[in-house]
Amino acid sequence: MATRQNPGGTRLRSVAALVAVLAATACTAQPDPAPRPGLPPTLGPSQNTPNRAAGDGSIPENGSISLNDTGHAAIANLDPALLTAVRTAATNAAARGVELRVTSGWRSTQYQQRLLDEAIARYRSVEEARKLVHPPEKSKHVTGQAIDIGPTAAADWLIQHGADYGLCQTYANEMWHFELLTTPGGQCPQPLSDANG
């Protein structure tokens, strides 16, 4: 089938080429959009991906960043509702002497896959790794709908008070991982045993 001659196809390709030339001509006739000096392209506004910052969202192991570090992809690419809720919680926690830090936020697909690969290597077991790290297609970090909070005192505080902001611990074996799972002042669902549970 694929080797059969098709004279009509040749004519169609010519038409397609002509259309392409016309489209290119039309494009050059349009004035270029005004440049925005002073703003790196990655920080400029984009209609399709608002607030998207460059990078894969990685934060070094045992490291943390501020909730206000909006230049970091881990923060900038979070679901705005989640970020607002955690910031409100952090303000009230700070008033009680507890600082909420972010140990992980949004992650790119590639970064999530890397974390899974590292966990599989570390535990030498896909099953054990999957209890702690979702594949990219299942991870709420990749969609910007999950955040990991540290240090331990901060995670403790958020487990106790998170529901006031709609924030819930998702997995019993991850005291640091929170998602918006209820309405502010509502009741959190019982945490799942682990990411695979």
* CB of 139 or CB of 165, closer to Zn ion: 139
Closest CA to 186 of 167, 172, 170: 167
Cβ proximity to Zn ion: between 59 and 146 the closer is: 146
Question: Residues 129 to 168: which contact Zn ion by CB under 5 A?
Answer: 146, 148
Q: How far is the CB of 92 from Zn ion (least distance, A)?
A: 22
User: What is the DSSP code (8-state) at residue 60?
Assistant: -
* Shorter beta-carbon distance to Zn ion: residue 116 or 146: 146
| Residue matched to tokens 């923060």 | 75
The 10 Å Cβ neighbour count of residue 55 is 16
82 vs 98 by CB, closer to Zn ion: 82
Longest C-alpha distance within the chain, in Å? 78
| The Cα angle at residue 97 between residues 94 and 99, in degrees rounded to 5 | 55
Single out the residue of 72, 107, 131, 177 in contact with Zn ion (rule: CB under 5 A). Answer: 177
- Shortest separation between residue 110's beta carbon and Zn ion, angstroms: 17
Compute and round to an integer the Cα radius of gyration of the chain. Answer: 23
- CB 75 to Zn ion: min, Å: 14
Q: 188 is written with which tokens?
A: 């959190």
Cβ at position 16, least distance to Zn ion in Å = 48
Nearer to Zn ion, 130 or 177 (CB): 177
Report the residue closest to Zn ion, judged by CB: 177
Judged by CB under 5 A, does residue 79 bind Zn ion? no
Give least dist CB 118 to Zn ion, A.
15
Going by C-alpha positions, the residue among 26, 27, 28, 54 that lies closest to residue 40 is 54
Written as six digits, the tokens of 133 are: 């790290």
Instruction: Using the rule CB under 5 A, give the single segment among 41-49, 52-60, 122-130, 177-185 that binds Zn ion.
Output: 177-185
Contact, 130 vs 195, CB < 8 A?
Answer: yes
CB of 135 to Zn ion, least distance (A): 14
Helix (H) or strand (E) holding 168: strand 167-171
Of 40 and 62, CB closest to Zn ion: 62
Binding site for Zn ion (CB under 5 A): 146, 148, 177
